[in-house]
Copies of this chain bind each other. A is one copy, B any other.
Amino acid sequence: MAEEVLISNKQVVLKNYVIGFPQESDLEIIASSIELNVPEAIQDAVLVKNLYLSCDPYMCGCMSKPVGPSIVSSFEPGKPLYGFGVVKVVDSTHPNYKKGDLAWGVPGITAFGGFHEVCSPKKGEYVFVSAASGAIGQIVGQFAKLLGCYVAGSAGSNEKVDMLKNKFRFDEAFYYKEESDLDAALKSRFPEGIDIYFDSVGGKMLDTVLLNMRIRGRIAACGMISQYNLDKPEGLRNLMSIIGKRVHVEGFVTGDFYHLYPKFLELIIPYIKQDEIVYVEDVGEGLESGPTSLIGLFTGRNVGKQLVVGAHE
């Protein structure tokens, strides 16, 4: 019989469904206590301790009231948020997990699958990444550089632009809010046009990129964060470029690539060990920092991959 210990347990709870971007006031921290064991009568159950929690933009959509069928399920008002993370098994009645096991995992798999599987990149191609200092963008850019591509990125502050150029070794980067003419900003970085656009923002940036694609260019539609808080998304007017330039646009979600996890780890672990891929994380300490950390994604306050540390072990 497992030992029975009552401990305090904090949760970040959704107060009400959100319209537009969520605010910190839409979330609250609730404390209760739980027993650290899985009752033996419950088969195949696992109790875990959250070490690292991942804050991801898709969670915005989960806070809205569900309208019709959707591929992401909504959070429920009054119930805790859930997502990806690194967890430690505290108790288990599941045959595949035992106490002390660590389980994955924060997606870098999205960058891997989205770039290598969707974009079919080739050495020497011209690659543009938006939200390039973010969790996915920074990895996509480094994958592209390692493959021998030319890479430019856009980001939401001068600090992030510096990071792209100096830390992540992008060839070019710009602060999109300071560019009065987005088309000119792209043309000056891509005089030959863009072969691959890894899109995490949508809206006006995507529309302008469409004007700058090369023949048989590819657009990986990963996210459209610029649109998540709008009642009515911005209108895109340059779709006609898709025909003449024979552009491929392809949407995907992280779950499409789970089967590639072993291949992903095989590729990325040596790169990380040899410092050929570096990673910037923005870490909130303690679950109390959860609301601030999560909402920061939508105001652009965070730099790099946003995490919340629940516990270090």
Task: Using CB atoms and an 8 Å cutoff, list the residues of chain A in contact with chain B.
Answer: 70-72, 202, 206, 215, 221-224, 227, 232-253, 256
Contact among B221, B241, B243, B250 with A239 in the assembled complex (CB-CB below 8 Å): B221
Cα separation A250 to B258 with both chains bound (whole Å): 25
A249 touches B244 (CB 8 A): no
Which B residues touch A202, using CB under 8 A?
239-240
The reply to whether B248 and A224 contact each other, CB–CB distance below 8 Å, is: no
| Contact among B222, B239, B246 with A256 in the assembled complex (CB-CB below 8 Å) | B246
Given A202-B240, A224-B243, A236-B237, 18 more contacts at CB 8 Å? A72-B244, A223-B243, A224-B239, A233-B240, A234-B235, A234-B237, A235-B237, A236-B239, A241-B251, A242-B249, A243-B252, A243-B253, A246-B251, A246-B256, A247-B249, A248-B248, A249-B249, A249-B250
Task: Tell me, rounded to whole Å, the shortest Cβ–Cβ distance linking A153 to chain B.
Answer: 20
Are B235 and A246 in contact, CB atoms less than 8 angstroms apart?
no
A254 to chain B, nearest CB (A): 11
Closest to A70 in B: B244
- List B contacts of A72 (CB < 8 A): 244
| Complex contacts, A235 vs chain B, CB 8 Å | 234-237
CB atoms of A250 and B246 under 8 A apart: yes
Q: A248-B250, A250-B248, A251-B247 are in contact. Are A233 and B238 (CB under 8 A)?
A: yes
Chain B residue nearest to A215 in the complex (CB): B71
Between A72, A243, A247, the greatest number of chain B beta carbons within 10 A of the residue's beta carbon is seen for: A243
CB distance from A227 to the nearest CB of B (A): 6
Inter-chain contact B242/A251, CB cutoff 8 Å:
yes
CB distance from A193 to the nearest CB of B (A): 10
With known contacts A248-B249, A251-B247, A221–B236 Cβ distance under 8 A = no
A71: nearest chain-B partner, CB-CB: B244
The residues of B that contact A239 with a CB separation of less than 8 Å are 202, 206, 221, 224, 233, 236
A223 to B223, CA, bound (A): 26
Q: Is A232 a contact partner of B221 (Cβ separation < 8 A)?
A: no
Chain B residues with CB below 8 A from A242, complex form: 221, 249-251
Q: Which of A224, A240, A245 has the most chain B CB within a 10 Å cutoff?
A: A240
A269 CB, nearest partner CB in chain B, Å: 28
**A252 and B256 in contact, given A224-B239, A237-B232, A240-B224 (Cβ under 8 angstroms):** no
With a 10 A CB-CB cut-off, give which of A223, A248, A256 has the most chain B CB atoms: A248
Q: How far, in angstroms, from A246 to B71 measured CA to CA in the complex?
A: 11
Shortest CB–CB separation between residue A290 and chain B, in angstroms? Answer: 25
